[in-house]
Amino acid sequence: MGTAEATRSPSGSATEFRELLDEALKHLDPEWRAVVVLHYFLGMPLPEVAATLGIPLGTAKSRLHRSLGAMRASIATDEASATAIPGGQFA
């Protein structure tokens, strides 16, 4: 995934994107959510995240990777259902 793709927000405003992000975070297990919040929201490097949570660095990396994948899938599902039209057609 290129830098442009990673920073591009879904169609809509920043507020809508934040709501999608918050909803995706809610679906994560607390252990996975903690890694995402500490790393991306608080800016901690992964070794510090691992030390703070008392887990091995490899575990922090795998939780981050799996969390991001789950969040991407959740956001994609939310966007697809938002554009659905009754009768099974898509806009």
Q: What is the pLDDT of residues 1-14, one digit of tens each?
A: 443 444 444 456 88
- Other CB atoms within 10 A of residue 5 CB: 7
Question: Left if phi > 0, otherwise alpha if psi is -120 to 50, otherwise beta: which for 54?
Answer: left
Q: How confident is the model at residue 77 (pLDDT cuts 50, 70, 90)?
A: confident
Mapped onto helix, strand or coil, the DSSP state of residue 1 is: coil
Residue 76's pLDDT band, with cuts at 50, 70 and 90, is: confident
pLDDT at 30 over 50: yes
Reported pTM: 0.71
Where is pLDDT greater, at 80 or 21? 21
Phi, psi at 44, each rounded to 5° = -75, 140
What is the C-alpha separation between 26 and 29, in angstroms, rounded?
Answer: 8
